[in-house]
Amino acid sequence: MKRLLWLGAGLAIGALVVRAVSKKAQSYTPRGMAAAATESGRNLVDSVRGFLDDARDGMHEREQELRASFTDGVAIDDLDDDDVTGDFGAVPTPQPPPEGSTR
């Protein structure tokens, strides 16, 4: 009876291993590689589409802010520069080297 149990367990494990190996081998066939490339391309297109949608939303929001400030009579030069460039446009000022350094 023990032998029959071990035989059944061995067959089940063997079937699982064969199935996993054949699935992995399928991914290295030309059809499997084409499917992976197609999926990767779809992911790239979806990412770019999401980025463009976010950029359009940001541009629309900024345009609404500019229109509102224009109708309120605020000059564009008086608008807060942080709204436009954030911290990305700031150029750091050079700092002098610490005393005692040999630069």
Distance set, CA 77 to CA 16, 54, 67, 86 (Å):
69, 26, 14, 16
Q: Which residue has the tokens 């709204």?
A: 83
Q: Which residues contact 84 (CB under 8 A, 6 or more apart)?
A: 62
Global pTM reads 0.48
What are 17's two structure tokens? 């291993």
Query: Confidence band (pLDDT; 50, 70, 90) for 92?
Result: low
**Ranges 2-6, 11-15, 61-65, 99-103, most confident:** 11-15
Q: Which residues contact 79 (CB under 8 A, 6 or more apart)?
A: 66, 69
Q: What is the rounded CA–CA span in Å between residue 1 and residue 33?
A: 46
Query: Confidence band (pLDDT; 50, 70, 90) for 38?
Result: very high
Mean pLDDT of 26-52: 93
